[in-house]
Amino acid sequence: MADASYPEDLLYHAEHDWAKIDGDVATFGVTWFAQDSLGDVVFFDPPAVGAQVTAGEGYAEVESVKAVSDVIAPLSGEIVEVNEALKDTPEQINDDPYGEGWMVKVKLSDPSQTETLLSQADYTAQLG
Amino acid sequence: MSATVPTQPVEGLPMQRDEIKTIYERSVEGRRAFAAPPLDVPVKPLDELIPAALRRSTPAQLPQVSEPEIVRHYNRLSKRNFDLDTGFYPLGSCTMKHNPKLHERVAGLPGNARLHPLQDPARAQGALELMHGLQESLGEIAGMPHVSLQPSAGSHGELAGLLLTRAYHEDRGEQRTKVLTPDTAHGTNPATVTMAGYEVVKVGTNADGGVDVDDLRAKADDSVACLMLTNPNTLGVFDPQIEEIARIVHGVGATLYYDGANLNAIMGITRPGDMGFDIVHFNLHKSFTQPHGGGGPGAGPIAVSDRIAPYLPRPQVVKREDGTFDLEHDIPKSIGKLRGFQGNYGVFVRSYAYIRSLGAEGLREASEIAVLNANYLLALLRRAGVAEYLPAAFDRLCMHEFVLSGAPMKRDLGIRTLDLAKRLLDHGVHPPTVYFPLLVDEALLLEPTETETKETLDHFADVIAEILAEAKADPEIARNAPYTTPVRRLDEAGAAKKPVIRQPL
């Protein structure tokens, strides 16, 4: 499992999710803290391409050896791509949470929502 | 103590050396454990007894082994198991209390053990009287007079409760779509809600570990069918706001469901019926000493208030005016039958034996000692060397169980709750419930029950302190534990992702 890290170029949601902004499309995933708390992930249940997601609400489920948890969307929009590889290798969420473990790409409905997200410094501060 | 507990893998213990084989792998063509005596009745062609269409075309593939092989196989398996007759088993919310051996004797009496489920009620009066007596006893304990013994597990009782809730609302011409469950709920609650076709809506927890009543008030409206609640809840906390909660739930016309998983804390002290609940299920394997069956046979009877009674499953065991017992099928608004026959009768015998041998005073005392034991153990674990790594999640008196957080242990000692749990196995102790309830980070949920001695609780606290001290010196020991068990760390992720559920014959 990877060492604790929180890249500076990402934006964070308090429910332990990250977003990487590229124009009006964002990539979502869960943070190192989230995957560490979950333990070994055994299943990722993604949303369908075209589904609408709402900031602060669940858009997918991850199942670990401990529990099934909702994954919270940091921003609102429409799913344009899903990381299909996680179907067979959900452990990428543990091994590489910011890289191969990305979950979905979303066309943002309101790019100004990014202002509500946390910087790396603010997010790690609230982890304590 | 520490001198005898290995700190690295032990090779060659009998259980580890022993090759694990299934009974089928032990099978040898032609081997038998039984020789049938010569036939002493007239021979009849098989076709006259069982029509060919109902017979299998190929013989069943059963293992062929000798009697000593069978005995050794199952004896070996039983030794690989850790059970309550082996050692301390403080599994929170599971109430692993002693199963009194008297109950086995009573359940084994020929009149109980040989009873046929299709026996005419007129010729099964004793059994029906026992079931009726159990209904009355459970009704008295719950403070709700109407009982059905049909559900076969706690989760089945939950399903019955929601089917009853739906029948109650539909009878009133109401269609409701949501069921509220606190975020501390047992996982079966939201699962039951989904299975019953309702939508799960979670209610938050307040700073004291009880229901966030403001959140409840905001979510309770006339689309809500029911609130499912455990009190005391899975944090081991009794929610003193229960009367207010009942007012809110009843105010919107919903039912209030009591998950009886934690009944062991309150028997004879308070009653769900008095708290305003409409439906309760009992886990006979938790509060009433039926052995935990690993999936069966079980029983999860329910008790309900007057307004829910017309919808109870049928048939009901009733006492007729002439003093005889019978099965009543004429319950027009009943939700119907929930299972075949009348339930797992042997389970009823054991739990009835327990209730009758303890009596009202004894049941109350059992609950009082369960709560005392939990508080004693919690106090022991507040010692230096433990409390700074495993603090109580809620710093107050607990009920029959309590929650610790392993978060400081993980941060400061580098071992997780899972590592501590695995290391306990090397000390001959079964770990408590881990990683539940979900809202406590690195949770351990401990329930010692009333049947454990002071010496056992003292020993457990010493073992926890020892493991923490050991981790301070070398966290790798716990991280790689257990060392002494037949199998070591299992690949849980692999088991979930690529389960092997069939064995080719």
Residue A2 has pLDDT above 70, yes or no: no
| pTM of this structure | 0.89
Q: Above 60 in pLDDT, residue B374?
A: yes
> To the nearest whole percent, how much of chain B has pLDDT over 70?
99
Over residues B38-43, mean pLDDT: 92
Tell me which DSSP letter residue B387 carries. T
Does the beta-carbon distance from B493 to A43 stay under 8 Å? no
Q: How many CA atoms lie within 13 A of B33 on its CB side?
A: 12
**pLDDT at position B1, please?**
47
pLDDT at B13 over 80: no
Q: Is A120 an interface residue toward B (CB < 8 Å)?
A: no
Distance from CA of B94 to the nearest CA of A (A): 17
What average pLDDT does this structure show over B137-141? 98
Q: What is the pLDDT of residues B385-404, one digit of tens each?
A: 999 999 999 888 999 999 99
Nearest Cα of chain A lies from the Cα of B395 at a distance, in angstroms, of 21
Pick the CATH number of B361-495 from 3.20.10.10, 3.30.110.70, 3.90.1150.10, 3.40.50.1000: 3.90.1150.10
Q: Which of A35, A66, A69, A87 to mutate to test the interface with B (most CBs of B within 10 A)?
A: A66
Q: Looking at the complex, does the CB of residue A74 fall below 8 Å from at least one CB of chain B? A: no
B35 has a pLDDT exceeding 90: no
User: Are B435 and A66 an interchain contact pair (Cβ–Cβ within 8 Å)?
Assistant: yes
How near does any CA of chain B get to the CA of A24, in Å?
A: 33
Q: Of A13-22, B15-24, B47-56, B70-79, which range is least confident?
A: B15-24
When pLDDT is cut at 50, 70 and 90, the band that residue B468 belongs to is: very high
Rounded to 10°, the helix B454-473/B417-426 angle is: 120
User: What is the residue extent of each domain of chain B?
Assistant: 1-81, 105-357, 361-495
* Beta carbons of B399 and B236 less than 8 angstroms apart: yes
Distance separating alpha carbons of residues B385 and B261, to the nearest angstrom: 32
Segment B317-330 mean pLDDT? 97
B433-443 pLDDT, tens digit each:
999 888 899 99
Size of interface A-B (CB pairs under 8 A): 21
CA-CA-CA-CA dihedral for A67, B260, B424, B420, to nearest 10: 40
Report the distance separating Cα A75 and Cα A78, nearest Å: 10
- Residues B182-225: tens digit of each pLDDT: 988 988 999 999 999 999 999 999 998 999 999 999 999 999 99
Residues 411-430 of B with CB under 8 A from A: 418
CB contact under 8 A, A65 and B496: yes
Q: Give me the domains of chain A, ranges plus CATH numbers.
A: 11-118 (2.40.50.100)
pLDDT tens readout for residues A26-48: 999 999 999 998 989 999 999 99
Least confident of B19-28, B213-222, B453-462: B19-28
Q: Do A91 and B493 touch (CB under 8 A)?
A: yes
B231-263 pLDDT, tens digit per residue, is: 999 888 999 999 999 999 999 999 999 999 999
pLDDT at residue number B379: 96
**Most A CBs within 10 Å: which of B202, B435, B442, B490, as the mutation test of the A interface?**
B435
- Banded model confidence at residue B69, pLDDT cuts 50, 70, 90: very high
Q: What is the mean pLDDT of chain B?
A: 93
The predicted pLDDT at position B295 comes to 63
The pLDDT assigned to B296 comes to 67
Number of residues assigned to chain B: 505
Mean pLDDT of all residues in B20-41? 90
A41 and B496 within 8 Å at the Cβ level: the answer is no
Residue B195 confidence (pLDDT): 96
Instruction: Give the residue, B294 or B432, on which the prediction is more confident.
Output: B432
CA–CA distance, B194 with B179 (Å, rounded to integer) = 9
Residue B194, φ and ψ in degrees, nearest 5: -65, -45
Question: Degrees (nearest 5) of the Cα angle B146, B150, B156?
Answer: 105
Measuring CA to CA, which residue among B387, B385, B402, B380 is closest to residue B449? Answer: B402
**Res. B2: pLDDT tops 60:** no
Cβ pair B418:A39 closer than 8 A: yes
Share the mean pLDDT of chain A.
93
pLDDT tens-place string over residues A70-99: 999 999 999 999 999 999 999 999 999 999
Cβ–Cβ of B497/A66 closer than 8 Å?
no
Which of A37, A42, A67 is the closest to B493 by Cβ? A42
Backbone angles phi, psi at B492, to 5 degrees: -65, -40
Instruction: Answer yes or no: is pLDDT of B294 > 80.
Output: no
Looking at the predicted structure, is the pLDDT value of residue B3 above 70?
Answer: no
Look at A41 and B435 and tell me if their CB atoms are within 8 Å. Answer: no
Q: pLDDT value at position B492?
A: 85
CB nearest A40 (choices: B438, B441, B492): B492
Whether the CB of B183 is below 8 Å from some CB of chain A: the reply is no
Mean pLDDT of B89-109: 94
With CA atoms as reference, report the closest residue to A15 among A72, A59, A68: A72
What class does CATH assign to B105-357? Answer: alpha beta
